[in-house]
Structure 1
Amino acid sequence: MTDPASEVAPAVIEITPGRRPLPPVVALAMEQELKNLIGRLESALLLSQSRDLPTTLTLAEAEPVLTAAVGTVDLGSELSPFLHPTLAEARQLLQDWPTLLAEDNHEALKERWLAVRDGLWESFPRERPYAQPEIRAVWLDRGTIVGARNPEGLARLFDRLAAAGITTVFFETVNAGYPIYPSQVAPEQNPLTRRWDPLASAVELAHARNMTLHAWVWVFAAGNERHNRLLNLPADYPGPLLSRYPHWAGYDNRGNTIPIGQDKPFLDPANPEARSYLIRLMSEMVREYNIDGIHLDYIRYPFQDPGANRTYGYGEAARWNFRNITGVDPLELSPRPNPSLSQGQQLQQRVLWDRWTEFRIHQVNSFVATLSTTLRRQRPGLVISAAVFAHPEHERLQKIQQDWGTWAKAGHIDWVVLMSYAQDTSRFEQLLRPWLGGQTFGSALVIPGIRIYNLSTQAALDQMQTARDLPTPGFALFAAADFNSSFDTLLAQTQATPAPSAPVPLALERYQALQREWNWLLSQQKLWMERSVLEQWVQNVNQLEADFIALADSPSQRGLDRVQQGLTRVREPLTSQMLIETANSAYRLQVWHHRLGTIEHLLRHHEAQQGRR
């Protein structure tokens, strides 16, 4: 069994050339993906076209003359100059889709779909930055930091990130048990950075470029076999912590500190000494460095497979504590039924196994709660985030005991950064939608993660645009090590300089981007409602901007209430009664609701932050 932390979710759409028939589920996914891609390209084109317009909406004297029915437009029409010609080709393919399937012309279907997809990707605007204000984070990994060699090299790296429009840097500060800075709490600094203090340099460099800096910390993973090779240490070296404090170690049910197929030993989250050490270490970072946030990684147990009787968490402290609570050593329990036992004994085993799972979940949950309380007491405005898996909740709890929904709902973390790494955009969206739909996680922001390794620049841009069209405040890119010149150029071409990081100014700028988009559509006579309704809506849109500016200038609860009420008034008319002359008006309305929903969530996030001050 390999650690899924190093895996990427497979593509939904796998296309093999030739006449081999497409499975029905794949053909359906291709059709839906094409519809969504049309919408994403149009989103980018609208943002690009409207970028320099004023935010105040104005109405033409005459009623607009609509050239199409609700929901669609003739994409070849000269009345739609912002629509790229490839959109017409895509629409034509969608029209031909049922016929091609009925004729079993799968070879032509695949060829045309790939050609159209590539054409749409190539049509994303690159002549100037167009991306809306958003959180754009990057994981800046240890290897890249070490490769910078000194503050001057790190400055060049931060120059690249700033030019790419990055707003937030997750700076790998603790890796494999080693802090990257000279710590008074940790037993030793990473040997590869002993000549300097990368964290001190990074904070200064980030702030000078209007970026925020979050210390990225491996929490319970305490070593790394691959890192041992870099330091010419034995492969089985457990890291600087467990080599000194072996009783802090976690174990699997076979007595191994590293589960089979994986390469990292873990601390026992139930060990009070290990917990105290981790809290003191992160408290030191907050006290000694002007960091903007703490980013928690490996905030879980290692991956397990209970169905194969591969489980983890049997550290000395965990076994003693669980035995003290239940009278049973957890090593005597098994997730699999034992047919030699009576039904009553099997039921008791099941109950005890569930208690053991709950016990381990609680160890992580209680640690996050204690850490959050401690760090916020030191610095109330600190942003606490966590890199977490997008797996279904039940699977996560059983396999890694990571209950991040509870942390978010309790207000212990500010950002949920999903490691939603996928080989194609369809899978990426599948991973995200369960967490961006009807569920809410308190005031916490849910931020998708995009792994750019092995993605083409066009595919990476498409996943970024997907995040922009969903109800998210931005995205995080994994990792800086995988940036190259073509990706740097893409980001610089499409993303402006870093946006404000505070929730209210960020929400205001996102709202103004929407205003410009609406203003462009109105100026082109491509947005229509009943005249009286439209006039009232335009008035509400403009009034909301005024209220928003007042709130940003002078925050107050009364001002926040006015903005939230204004958002409701602006959202209400965005229904099928509004006619929009675009490729897919239903998609456009959905995106607007998503973007307004994100603005509302940023305001709730602001309200929660104010409550902690």
Structure 2
Amino acid sequence: MSKFTSFYSFWATIFAFMVAISVTSVTLAAVQSADLAIIHGHDSLPEGERRFAAALARHVVRWYREVGLTAQLENDTALDDKLQGYKVAVLVYMSQPTAAQMTALRKFTTGGGRLIVCYSASTALADLMGVQISGYRRADPPGRWATMKFVATRPNGVPDEIVQSSPNLMVAEAVKGRSSVLAWWADRQGKLNEAAWLVSGTGFWMTHVLLADGDAEAKSRLLLALAASADPTLWAKATRTLLPLARCAGTYTSPAALGEAAAKLGNPARQQRVAAAVQAAIDWEGRAGAHLAKGAGREAWEAARMVQIRMREGYGLLQTARQGEIRAVWDHSGMGLYPGDWKRTCAMLKAAGITDLMVNVGGAAFAHYDSRVLPQSKIMIEQGDQLKACLAAARPHGIRVHAWLLCYSTERATAERLEIFREKGWLLTSEAGQALPWLDPSAVDVRNYLVRAVRELSTSYKPDGIHLDFVRYPDFSSSLGSAARPRFERHMKRKVKEWPADVKWGGPERMAFIGWRAAQVEQFVAEARLTVRSQAPGKLLTAAVYGKYPSCIDAVGQDWEAWLRSSLVDYVMPMNYTENIETFRQFVTEQTRDKNQAKRIIPGIGVTAAESRLNAVQTIDQIKVLREVGCPGFALFDLSTTLQQEILPILRLGATE
């Protein structure tokens, strides 16, 4: 080796070392700039559960963001490194931590760190947290775990209760001298049963996970309060982040700007109400600053939250209603907001100005109504006919009810039902021949089965409409199974030389195959239309569809513009689920480029969708966009306590008055 080479090698090594230190420092700084860590199961979980754990953890990150804290999201690999620098860590579905992970967690708590554990089956972790696991249990009867009721002696800021319907628990109990119950589960009648939360010197333990099924404000408040009980400085940090956001609403960047807009209102009574909300926001903003100056972090945060509440109230009051529009809500549960009490649900929706309810009462694998075509669900058997009860409660209020039918999806199918579908040859298959959990749109027997369900709903119940969902393929690759080839070849009246290569991207038969797939789906829609027209004249047929057109034709065989051109449906409801107002505007602008088509498009707004979570201001802004382009209405996803508590009351102040 030459002297030059040695010299170069020496300095190259030094440079690489310095770069490594720099990168490590930047990485640690980025991580430690967060206020707390959110760790979701990976090594501590079976592979099939990891995506679910990550999804749950993302909700926790969002809830912290909404109260003003930044959370660093990580999986549980190299756990010791990921806990460094934090005082609080939330463990989301770390079911069975490894020995190395337990060592890292013990080190963290010994060093003063505190854990918020959301569901674990680990006796070692339970021992660290001072609780005792009793075992896994399913909710029997359904609704056994419907609300978390917190005890009187609890950390500052923890709400009185949180509504959440948990289907199962890892039951845990307090250990005398080491832990105590922080909250009890209550059933739908309010009777207390198992522990929901426990508290010990090392943190907090939840017997389930926090679900994104509503009551979002209470869940975010709980998470902040638990973290701040371990690190009180988090109240002030959250306030400093929340306050600048709280004083904005829509395009108005301050209470004063909102007040100027109120002065232009032609309605004196409304003007006074907005002015009162604005003045209240100004007063609360002053209190927040005063509390911060005195070091009263929790009081400052509560004041900042009141600024946000009054600004949203003022923004809601600035809006105007549009008479005659469709204001729909999807109810994915199929049981209403208050299971067993459809009258209460419908009264609430009527008071909020809602005109239409899409109630999820059936699908290929279940029926929440007294069906002779679809397999009756446990809900139908144990809690009664949901569609019948919904119709009886909605009609006195003038709310239109649409029977929501999950078409090709096998959601809620039992293993036995999937096996029946497989034996009949009704399921799609992969290229390798593996059965997939999705009905095959090209199978005539499947089409006839679904049409019979449409006929049954139309004749036996006569709802105001039938609402089709999952009326598509799941994706492109799922349509390449062995059953598709002979059906496609019969359509083409010739053989495909290379299957599936010739129908994939770049293949000579791809465009013909794309058209054939779309035709299979369209044939069912056409037969559903004929059935509704013949069996229930004047009733509506609508469909929930992918918003990105025409890419949805290639992706899932859903040519919904063709359905509109052929009048196969009365309305489509593109699921334009996004938090970005400009993205939403792009979706709607493209969908309504034809003004005649615009009159038959009811955009879906993802208030509590997997892809988006909207506050009242964001929801109003999306409604304003679709009104500008001439859509006949909107549909809100999904009926939940979040929609009931945080969105509908603000809409009712003006947008749906």
- TM-score with structure 2 length normalisation? 0.51
Query: Which residue in 2 is equivalent to 1:518?
Result: none
Query: Which residue in 2 is equivalent to 1:201?
Result: 389
The letter for the 2-side match of 1:191 is: K
> How far does the alpha carbon of each residue in 1:62-117 deviate from its partner, in whole angstroms, 9 at most, with x for none?
xxxxxxxxxxxxxxxxxx99998999xxxxxxxxxxxxxxxxxxxxxxxxxxxx99
Q: CA RMSD of the aligned region, Å?
A: 4.4
How many residues of Structure 1 are paired with residues of Structure 2 in the alignment?
385
Structure with bigger helix share is 1
Query: Which residue in 1 is equivalent to 2:377?
Result: 190
2:521 to 348, 364, 371: 364
Q: CA deviation at 1:254?
A: 3.4
The letter for the 1-side match of 2:484 is: A
What is the percentage of aligned positions where both structures have the same residue?
A: 25
The question of 1:476 aligning with 2:635 is answered yes
The question of 1:491 aligning with 2:640 is answered no
Tell which has more relative contact order, 1 or 2 (C-alpha 8 A, sep 6+): 1
1:328 to 483, 488, 496: 496
Any residues of structure 2 matched to 1:118-137 within 5 Å, and which? 123-126=314-317, 130-137=321-328
Query: Which residue in 1 is equivalent to 2:421?
Result: 242
Shift in CA distance, 369/456, structure 1 to aligned 2, threshold 3 Å:
same
How far apart, in 1, do the equivalents of 2:620 and 2:351 lie? Answer: 16
Partner-residue secondary structure (3-state), 1:385? strand
Any residues of structure 2 matched to 1:278-289 within 5 Å, and which? 278-289=450-461
How far apart, in 2, do the equivalents of 1:123 and 1:285 lie? Answer: 43
Query: Which residue in 1 is equivalent to 2:182?
Result: none
Partner-residue secondary structure (3-state), 2:429? coil
Any residues of structure 2 matched to 1:257-406 within 5 Å, and which? 257-258=435-436, 265-304=437-476, 311-314=477-480, 318-324=484-490, 325=492, 326-328=494-496, 331-334=499-502, 350-393=507-550, 395-406=551-562
> How far does the alpha carbon of each residue in 1:192-227 deviate from its partner, in whole angstroms, 9 at most, with x for none?
221311111111211111110111111111x23xx4
Q: CA deviation at 1:177?
A: 1.7
Query: Which residue in 1 is equivalent to 2:162?
Result: none
The question of 1:432 aligning with 2:585 is answered no
Shift in CA distance, 465/194, structure 1 to aligned 2, threshold 3 Å:
same
Q: CA deviation at 1:477?
A: 0.3
The letter for the 1-side match of 2:385 is: D
Verify the 8 A CA contact 1:34 1:117 in the aligned structure 2: no
The question of 1:212 aligning with 2:400 is answered yes
> How far does the alpha carbon of each residue in 1:153-190 deviate from its partner, in whole angstroms, 9 at most, with x for none?
1211111111111100001021462111111122x211
Query: Which residue in 1 is equivalent to 2:97?
Result: none
How far apart, in 1, do the equivalents of 2:439 and 2:263 lie? Answer: 50
Partner-residue secondary structure (3-state), 2:603? strand
Structure with bigger strand share is 2
> How far does the alpha carbon of each residue in 1:373-426 deviate from its partner, in whole angstroms, 9 at most, with x for none?
222122221111110111131x21111111000000111111111101111322
Query: Which residue in 1 is equivalent to 2:567?
Result: 411
Query: Which residue in 2 is equivalent to 1:157?
Result: 345
> How far does the alpha carbon of each residue in 1:342-365 deviate from its partner, in whole angstroms, 9 at most, with x for none?
xxxxxxx73312211111111111
> How far does the alpha carbon of each residue in 1:312-341 deviate from its partner, in whole angstroms, 9 at most, with x for none?
22456533221223312774335557xxxx
Higher Cα Rg, which structure: 2
Verify the 8 A CA contact 1:137 1:169 in the aligned structure 2: yes
Verify the 8 A CA contact 2:316 2:650 in the aligned structure 1: no
Partner-residue secondary structure (3-state), 1:412? coil
Query: Which residue in 1 is equivalent to 2:360?
Result: 172
Shift in CA distance, 389/296, structure 1 to aligned 2, threshold 3 Å:
same
> How far does the alpha carbon of each residue in 1:227-275 deviate from its partner, in whole angstroms, 9 at most, with x for none?
46xxxx55xx6648625x54011123233443xxxxxx22111111111
Partner-residue secondary structure (3-state), 1:278? helix
Q: CA deviation at 1:132?
A: 3.8
Verify the 8 A CA contact 1:178 1:240 in the aligned structure 2: no
5+ unaligned residues in a row in structure 2: which ranges? 1-47, 70-249, 279-306
How far apart, in 2, do the equivalents of 1:442 and 1:466 lie? Answer: 16
Query: Which residue in 2 is equivalent to 1:445?
Result: 600
Verify the 8 A CA contact 1:130 1:495 in the aligned structure 2: yes
Q: CA deviation at 1:276?
A: 0.7
Verify the 8 A CA contact 2:334 2:368 in the aligned structure 1: no
How far apart, in 2, do the equivalents of 1:216 and 1:293 lie? Answer: 9
How far apart, in 2, do the equivalents of 1:391 and 1:466 lie? Answer: 17
Which one is further off, 421-430 or 125-134? Answer: 125-134
- TM-score with structure 1 length normalisation? 0.54
Verify the 8 A CA contact 1:319 1:330 in the aligned structure 2: no
Shift in CA distance, 149/51, structure 1 to aligned 2, threshold 3 Å:
same
How far apart, in 2, do the equivalents of 1:373 and 1:184 lie? Answer: 21
Partner-residue secondary structure (3-state), 1:214? strand
Query: Which residue in 2 is equivalent to 1:555?
Result: none
